[in-house]
Structure 1
């Protein structure tokens, strides 16, 4: 956790420094210029200079704040004054890259047009006056008084954030901005691809969904700020329809993460999940045919809806364990806070300025860490399970090799074992050694069977003691009839679990049962006991309309006999001690006893 916090701090501080630099640029024109909205979008610079249109200029009291989605063009007029000894080479920079038309006109004090430049997203990068991350154009400011007119039009959110700076300052800023932006988005993209690779290698597919989500998000933010434009062919216009398509794809990746995370915990996709994926797919393809503004807004609302559903799913249900729900809730809150701030910035209610780009990365990095933490736990469980399976497989191979060496001897003993079993059953029937409630053997039968095992020449024996959890509470709450049904049901499970001739189970007393497993390894015995506990949990008892849940605790002990008699009393004491250890450890589990047994026969 300390490493993650340190990584976030190291990631955030250069972005904050860059934002401070952006917010302290000299000669920001949008707060000092006069502004006029051209609702027709058809007015030209000649109409203004010749007086064909008399616009009602007013001061831009909103400064650099955005104006949201507007259909009309906006004109800015800014008076300039340069001394004769001051260098007049300047660069006009628009900090926002999603401007379809960006025209600048320089007019002298007599109203003559000295220079005009055009750039914008609607033309190829090779045709820009200056090929950079931002929309930039060079201007030669004359000495004396002059006026700068700027016309801006955009189908996207309109953000008037412009600066007029000396050529040298622009070159330094361009180099710093390109380096910082390239490092930020490059590291983010590289990290996301690594996440995809990790998910494929570990077969934790939710990690792949995380990686793809942030790949799409970094590409989307790079397009908004112009960084991605440098990777696009310079002679081609970047299609703006990519932006809403990426928004829909991001929403699909988030929902894929939720579906895959639920799948890891045994939850299958629902028809609602299929409907959401269908909506995302239709939106991603429909973005190329819908109006750009409409497609963008629908894509944004879809992302918000997906994260709100993730927040509600994780907060109000128990489909995920706590360690997965908390990261999803925190990530959803981070996204919704960031999306809310960016929406307020786009609509001009709140001014973020240079922090708009950094806000995406600042929220994205903790999201990535949080969502990965939610997946890493069950990915780790999968690795551990595979490792345990490999160890178990190696053990089984060793056992199989030993079994092949003893096959002949085992075949010869099988006939004797069958005869001994018949003898044992006959003895049980003769002395009526059967528990009247459950039909299992009782203590007397258990004693006889231990004597039989002593004569059979077995090499080892495992003894398991089972005790129903909270049995007294069950009797008190639901009645003794339900308690008797529980004992009978458990007895059936235990009886069905003893499939070999010498395996034996008996009711030892009350809610306690004993199982004997001759010639059984400790691992196999533990697995068999765990299977019994699982089948006990699946027993369905009803008391009226109420479903009664059952569980049991178990203690297991094993002894290698070395041609000695079965040390039943010591073995039982060890198993009973392990049983109470399982009770103290939370119940519904099995505990093993590994200490040696004193040689005492039954």
Structure 2
């Protein structure tokens, strides 16, 4: 009797089944018995129902009437791109286990920026276990410790279940639904954590590097960059759902209000850094007030987000996108004006802006969801930091070149002053005194700017004194001898008087070059000691080694064959005094200098063009 009753279908029931067949056809249970190392996208397996009133409950969507209203996508996609909407959405997933063993699968909502995520999973006893989580709720409500929203599905053998999800967001709503095995998800988590840690490592390294540069150089631009890197790293941490479960002015750190506020602060810091780096106030005076207005808008926007984020989130995305193009335009304009920093800015920030634009276009539903659009901002930020490292190195190199140019200008000024003093000594005695004082100031600046002798290009006396003190202490520590040679150009005053000062300078330069080429060990130091006197310092060298080096140097200078008519030898020659000592801790370094100097006097007294040991 019961069997016959089951076969009596009413015409109305048959008609209803035919009308709903196309909708229910998508509700065929998804068999998850076979494990897979790759996630299974559920966009063609999960039904979707819009809840414009946001008032539906689980009991409502489980009814037969509501079941017929769930829609199923025919073509696969990475996510459900629902755009900016005030509606809530329900998802229905029919899953089954055709195997002989119970199994567990993990349902993943791969977007940590969804404001509210409610999961209803069968508990195996005829009821449903419920989780209420989401970006705008405390992270303690999560079913599984992950930056995304993960829910375990426990499927007995030969069983079927219906899982429901309810999502709602105050910003653009994208719902990538995936099904994972536990082992595959753990492997993905390890790779994901390594990627996030790598980015944070780059950010921390660049932050500390530029902070040290700011402390050393006191350049405000580096402080602006440190602020930008710090806020950018914080914003990306929040975007990825990895912020601590703390509260800020009543909002959790992972909430979309805090996220949008962090993005605004990031853009304001980026604009401030760009204005300083590209000097827009000077190069683009008409554009710079607009940039200041944008900065003010971004600094005020967190107040707007706190009260009306759902209403302004779409507008905020558009404004952020337009700001990216404004910054690119400013970079191009400065590059056309041949501003050197603009080339680095376009390369580095162009990648960052491209990554941010891809994320924004994804939020607007104009680009698909994939690894590049989801983490575009993080990828672009990493490349931007690396490229700006080259920009900062170039900036330091430019500063060094400017320093050398300043030294050259100071030297040129010195020569001009000396020439003026020689021509006007009697007529302008008062001006001579003033210029002499100015010359002394310039000499003092030159001494502090460089440790290199301006004429010969080798180390100067100050550099030599510093290295001598250091090597003398090292010689005591390691117990090895330290050798010093003092050499003097023979009959150099008569050379200057006969050939003139320019020829004398050229002579000293050639001797210095010969000295540097002959005494060429990496541990040795050659320096101009003063006037026509030079020195070289040879660590770990005894008297014999020092004597051999000095003899080689005497022969090298002799080989130059520089004419010297006032010398008995007919060519330029040098006399060298050497000394080698071990530091017993009782003698100062000057003892070594005195012994080498005394040896030099003996070399001069005994005919010059020779080496004497002290």
**Aligned partners of 1:230 and 1:518: how far apart in 2?**
66
Higher RCO (Cα < 8 Å, 6 or more apart)? 1
1:191 aligns with 2:208: no
- Residue 258 of structure 1 deviates from its aligned partner by 2.1
> Secondary structure of the equivalent of 1:36?
strand
**Aligned partners of 1:216 and 1:82: how far apart in 2?**
47
Partner of 2:88: 73
Partner of 1:104: 119
Contact 2:119 2:131 in 1 (8 A): yes
**Aligned partners of 1:231 and 1:192: how far apart in 2?**
26
1:141 aligns with 2:155: yes
**Aligned partners of 1:108 and 1:518: how far apart in 2?**
93
User: Residues 89 and 392 of structure 1: is their aligned pair in 2 closer, same or farther, counting only changes over 3 Å?
Assistant: same
CA shift digits 1:94-127 (9 cap, x unpaired): 1101122222334699x95444433222321223
CA shift digits 1:393-412 (9 cap, x unpaired): 9x9xxxxxxxxxxxxxxxxx
Contact 2:93 2:163 in 1 (8 A): yes
CA shift digits 1:129-164 (9 cap, x unpaired): 223211112232243233222222111221121223
Equivalent residue for 2:269, pick from 240, 253, 257 = 253
Equivalent residue for 1:345, pick from 317, 340, 362 = 362
Partner of 2:466: none
Between stretches 282-291 and 74-83, larger displacement belongs to 282-291
Equivalent residue for 2:102, pick from 87, 94, 104 = 87
- Residue 43 of structure 1 deviates from its aligned partner by 1.2
Equivalent residue for 1:166, pick from 171, 178, 181 = 181
**Aligned partners of 1:262 and 1:322: how far apart in 2?**
7
- Residue 187 of structure 1 deviates from its aligned partner by 1.0
1:356 aligns with 2:373: yes
Instruction: Give runs of aligned pairs for residues 77-476 of structure 1, distance below 5 A.
Output: 77-83=92-98, 85-106=100-121, 113-142=127-156, 143-174=158-189, 176-177=190-191, 179-201=193-215, 202-229=217-244, 237-238=252-253, 239-262=255-278, 271-292=289-310, 294-295=312-313, 297-298=315-316, 300-317=317-334, 321-382=338-399, 420-421=426-427
Contact 1:217 1:250 in 2 (8 A): yes
User: Residues 499 and 26 of structure 1: is their aligned pair in 2 closer, same or farther, counting only changes over 3 Å?
Assistant: same
Partner of 2:469: none
**Aligned partners of 1:236 and 1:177: how far apart in 2?**
30
- Residue 226 of structure 1 deviates from its aligned partner by 1.4
> Secondary structure of the equivalent of 1:228?
coil
Partner of 2:62: 49
> Secondary structure of the equivalent of 1:156?
coil
Contact 1:255 1:306 in 2 (8 A): no
User: Residues 312 and 170 of structure 1: is their aligned pair in 2 closer, same or farther, counting only changes over 3 Å?
Assistant: closer
Between stretches 321-330 and 149-158, larger displacement belongs to 321-330
- Residue 82 of structure 1 deviates from its aligned partner by 0.9
Q: How many residues align?
A: 415
**Aligned partners of 2:153 and 2:76: how far apart in 1?**
26
Partner of 2:10: none
User: Residues 139 and 359 of structure 1: is their aligned pair in 2 closer, same or farther, counting only changes over 3 Å?
Assistant: same
Contact 2:47 2:93 in 1 (8 A): yes
**Aligned partners of 2:318 and 2:120: how far apart in 1?**
38
Contact 1:314 1:320 in 2 (8 A): no
Between stretches 246-255 and 56-65, larger displacement belongs to 56-65
Partner of 2:72: 59
**Aligned partners of 2:50 and 2:424: how far apart in 1?**
101
- Residue 274 of structure 1 deviates from its aligned partner by 3.9
TM-score by length of 1: 0.57
- Residue 327 of structure 1 deviates from its aligned partner by 1.3
**Aligned partners of 1:388 and 1:418: how far apart in 2?**
28
Q: Which segments of 5 or more consecutive residues in structure 1 lack a partner in the other structure?
A: 1-22, 396-413, 423-455, 457-497, 504-516, 528-560, 576-593
Partner of 2:579: none
Contact 1:193 1:211 in 2 (8 A): yes
Contact 1:105 1:113 in 2 (8 A): no
> Secondary structure of the equivalent of 2:117?
strand
Contact 1:418 1:501 in 2 (8 A): no
> Secondary structure of the equivalent of 2:102?
coil
- Residue 79 of structure 1 deviates from its aligned partner by 1.9
1:31 aligns with 2:52: no
**Aligned partners of 1:567 and 1:499: how far apart in 2?**
31
> Secondary structure of the equivalent of 1:89?
strand
User: Residues 231 and 62 of structure 1: is their aligned pair in 2 closer, same or farther, counting only changes over 3 Å?
Assistant: farther
CA shift digits 1:20-39 (9 cap, x unpaired): xxx97333222322222222
TM-score by length of 2: 0.56
Partner of 1:530: none
Between stretches 281-290 and 239-248, larger displacement belongs to 281-290
CA shift digits 1:315-367 (9 cap, x unpaired): 23469745312111223432343233223322333223233344223211221
User: Residues 301 and 250 of structure 1: is their aligned pair in 2 closer, same or farther, counting only changes over 3 Å?
Assistant: farther
User: Residues 62 and 566 of structure 1: is their aligned pair in 2 closer, same or farther, counting only changes over 3 Å?
Assistant: same
